[in-house]
Amino acid sequence: MADNQEITAGLAEIIEEVAGVAKDEVTSDKSFVDDLDIDSLSMVEIAVQAEDKFGVKIPDDELANLKTVSDAVNYVQANSK
């Protein structure tokens, strides 16, 4: 299983690809909506790519709870096989 740093780096790659946010902006305390200016449509794309990359399932009701980068990293950490 990947460690937190690797997951954050992987997530940053996806976010850069989908939303054009520079990778070094993607740090654990950042909010997707308020800090990184990522809209709900982009979040759906990011979730689909994260599912493929990390081998997790992110149901819609879980996705709604992922407010910050660390929320997402912790979710992946806890749910990846």
Partner 1 sequence: MSSSDVVVTGLGATTPLGGDVESTWEGLLSGRSGVSTLEADWVERFDLPVKIAAQLAVDPTEVLSRVEARRLDRSEQVALIAARQAWQDASFGDDGVEPERLGVVIGTGIGGATTLLHQDDLLEEHGLRKVSPLTVPMLMPNGPAAHVGLEFTARAGVHAPVSACASGAEGLAWAWRMLRNGDADVVLAGGAEACIAAITMAGFAQSRTMSTRNDDPEHASRPWDVERDGFVLGEGCGVVVLEREEFAKARGARVYARLAGAGTNADAHHITAPDPEGTWQAKAMEAALRNGGIAASDVQHVNAHATSTQVGDVTETVAVRKAVGDQPVLTAPKSMLGHLLGAAGAVESIATILSIHHGLIPPTTNLKELDPGVSLDVVAGEPRKMDLDIAINDSFGFGGHNVALAFTSP
Residues that bind partner 1 (CB under 8 A): 18-20, 41-42, 44-45, 48, 51
- Nearest CA to 48 among 37, 40, 39, 58? 58
- Indicate the residue among 5 and 54 with the shorter CB distance to partner 1: 54
- Nearest CA to 48 among 73, 74, 14? 14
- Indicate the residue among 6 and 63 with the shorter CB distance to partner 1: 63
- Indicate the residue among 18 and 69 with the shorter CB distance to partner 1: 18
CB of 59 to partner 1, least distance (A): 13
Query: Distance (Å, rounded) from C-alpha 33 to C-alpha 43?
Result: 9
